[in-house]
């Protein structure tokens, strides 16, 4: 039996700090525990726990996806996702068409207070949809960052909806971003992983790195891909290099016993 606890949530009421632990009964043997303190938030699912950072932009955090009474199957999925997030691995949620995979990803983001960026891949998706688009403002061309770039630089979760629809023209960009955390931008900047950027910062000044137009990819950046098994369903089988970048998990539809638990 899995257990979820949200420990050390910031509250303004002094009474809540001294009230100890509030329990919400989910089933006879399962409780959803919330312990109030004036410190940081720690999310724990069974034996997996992680300290939660406060989001810089709360409006990017999904809301109303996390159920108050999650069943055991949902808790197992959330525990697996929390474990992969701690390990710094990108995830691929695979399952039948429907809302379950997306709702599960959004519930995980709500649980961990993570900001989200979403890209719906299709045949018409181009490099500009992942990196930058050139737009005209007041007669001058400007480059505007797109979802993948914003997620990488701000440490958000990038959700790739319909990963099996990715065309060959965007696969090199996705592979390089997933494996190396690198991306060459149209305005001359270049994304590099946080470890390499911090190493260069010890040897060079911030002004030099800015002159080289290097951009740091946040260590909190993660990718969650949502897709369907192909060719069981219409779509293209995943490219082997792209498939190897993810830790995959099959999200099966809930049966009657699970939905009633």
Tokens of 107: 């519930």
Q: Residue 38: pLDDT band by 50, 70, 90 thresholds?
A: very low
Q: Is the pLDDT of residue 240 over 90?
A: no
| Cα–Cα distance measured from residue 66 to residue 86, given in angstroms and rounded to the nearest whole number | 20
Q: Residue 94: pLDDT band by 50, 70, 90 thresholds?
A: very high
This prediction has a pTM of 0.83
Q: Is the pLDDT of residue 115 over 80?
A: yes
pLDDT at 2: 60
Q: Per-residue pLDDT tens for 45-76?
A: 888 899 998 999 999 999 999 888 888 899 99
Name the residue with higher pLDDT: 3 or 38: 3
pLDDT at 196: 95
Tell me the mean pLDDT in the region 215-222: 96
Cβ distance 10 to 53 under 8 Å? no
Q: Residue 36: pLDDT band by 50, 70, 90 thresholds?
A: very low
Among 95, 87, 86, 121, CA closest to 249: 95
Q: Per-residue pLDDT tens for 149-164?
A: 999 999 999 999 999 8
| Cα–Cα distance measured from residue 60 to residue 90, given in angstroms and rounded to the nearest whole number | 20
Domains for the chain: give ranges and CATH numbers.
55-123+157-169+221-253 (3.40.50.300), 182-220 (no CATH)
Using alpha carbons, list the distances in angstroms from residue 25 to 15, 68, 73, 110. 22, 10, 17, 20
């Amino acid at each position: 039996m899995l257990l979820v606890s949200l420990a050390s949530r910031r509250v303004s009421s002094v009474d809540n700090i001294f009230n100890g632990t509030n329990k919400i009964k989910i089933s006879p043997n399962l409780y959803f525990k919330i312990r109030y303190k004036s410190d940081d938030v720690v999310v724990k699912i069974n034996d997996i726990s992680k300290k939660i950072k406060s989001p810089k932009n709360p409006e990017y955090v999904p809301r109303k996806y996390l159920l108050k009474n999650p069943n055991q199957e949902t808790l197992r999925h959330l525990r697996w996702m929390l474990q992969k997030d701690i390990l710094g691995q990108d995830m691929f949620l695979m399952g039948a068409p429907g809302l379950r995979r997306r709702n599960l990803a959004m519930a995980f983001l709500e649980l961990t207070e993570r900001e989200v960026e979403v890209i719906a891949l299709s045949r018409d998706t181009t490099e500009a949809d992942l990196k930058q688009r050139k737009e005209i403002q007041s007669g001058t061309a400007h480059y505007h960052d797109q979802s993948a770039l914003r997620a990488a630089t701000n440490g958000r979760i990038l959700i790739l909806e319909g990963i099996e629809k990715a065309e060959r023209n965007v696969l090199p960009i996705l592979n390089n971003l997933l494996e190396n955390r690198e991306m060459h931008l149209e305005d001359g900047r270049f994304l590099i992983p946080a470890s390499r950027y911090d190493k260069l910062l010890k040897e060079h000044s911030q002004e030099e790195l800015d002159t080289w137009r290097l951009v740091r990819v946040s260590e909190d950046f993660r990718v969650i891909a949502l897709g369907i098994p192909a060719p069981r369903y219409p779509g293209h089988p995943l490219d082997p290099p792209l498939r190897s970048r993810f830790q995959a998990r099959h999200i099966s539809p809930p049966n009657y016993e699970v939905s009633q638990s």
